[in-house]
């Protein structure tokens, strides 16, 4: 298995895209992608939370392993994520109230986004080093943002077209996501070459 930084980056960003190939963060992917403006904001805040909580989780995992308390891992990680989300919320409210008003509703939702919990879990089970986990976190959340932005642009287009009544709503979004996912399958070949 190739563990170079570049390989980890491309793998998490495109080949095993978190949303379209591993099915993580589906709820917000389907729920918040109707407009481009909300989609990229959500993507950026998820990126921030994932990176910070991945660094914190790496540190906490060292402590847990030292005390042989691995069974506390799930609880610890979810507490770290909830705390990071809370911190982000307070930080944004203090520094830029305008941005806070724009994304206030979406921030608490990040806690129950499985993509955020999956990054610390994956980096632990794959035994990544510190630098590797940071690269992995940035690439995975970048992949999430990428998928989110593409789908939101597709949905803005689909709103203008004439779709049968029956397929309006979630079903149409799912079909769009299926086509997008098929396109991302084309990246699978990139993993075997290196």
* Backbone CA torsion sign across 181, 32, 51, 61: negative
154 belongs to the binding site for other proteins (CB under 8 A): no
d(CA 95, CA 100): 9
User: Around Cβ 125, how many Cβ atoms within 10 Å?
Assistant: 8
User: For other proteins, which is the closer residue by CB, 9 or 184?
Assistant: 184
| Shortest spacing between CB 156 and other proteins, in angstroms | 19
User: For other proteins, which is the closer residue by CB, 42 or 117?
Assistant: 117
d(CA 8, CA 15): 10
34 belongs to the binding site for other proteins (CB under 8 A): no
In this structure, what token pair is assigned to residue 54?
Answer: 């991945």
| Shortest spacing between CB 41 and other proteins, in angstroms | 20
Q: What is the total count of residues that contact other proteins (CB under 8 A)?
A: 41
First-to-last alpha carbon distance for the chain, in angstroms, is 10
Stretch that binds other proteins, among 56-64, 96-104, 149-157, 179-187 (CB under 8 A): 179-187
Interface with other proteins (CB under 8 A), residue from 78, 99, 103, 153: 78
d(CA 191, CA 194): 7
d(CA 174, CA 187): 20
Interface with other proteins (CB under 8 A), residue from 12, 15, 57, 177: 177
Residue numbers of the site for other proteins (CB under 8 A)?
20-27, 30, 71-75, 78-79, 82, 108, 111-114, 116-118, 121-122, 125, 166-167, 170-171, 174-175, 177-179, 181-182, 184-185
């Amino acid at each position: 298995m190739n563990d170079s930084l570049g390989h980890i980056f491309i793998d998490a960003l495109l080949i095993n895209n978190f949303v379209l190939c591993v099915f993580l963060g589906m709820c917000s992917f389907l729920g918040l992608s109707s407009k481009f403006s909300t989609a990229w904001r959500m993507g950026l805040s998820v990126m921030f939370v994932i990176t910070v909580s991945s660094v914190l989780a790496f540190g906490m995992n060292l402590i847990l392993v030292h005390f042989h308390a691995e069974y506390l891992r799930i609880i610890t990680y979810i507490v770290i994520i909830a705390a990071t989300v809370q911190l982000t919320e307070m930080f944004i409210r203090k520094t830029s109230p305008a941005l806070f008003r724009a994304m206030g509703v979406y921030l608490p939702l990040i806690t129950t986004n499985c993509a955020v919990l999956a990054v610390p879990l994956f980096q632990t089970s794959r035994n990544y080093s510190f630098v590797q986990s940071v690269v992995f976190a940035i690439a995975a959340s970048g992949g999430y943002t990428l998928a989110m932005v593409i789908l939101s642009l597709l949905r803005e287009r689909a709103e203008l077209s004439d779709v049968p009544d029956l397929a309006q709503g979630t079903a149409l979004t799912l079909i769009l996501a299926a086509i997008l996912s098929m396109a991302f399958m084309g990246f699978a070949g990139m993993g075997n070459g290196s």
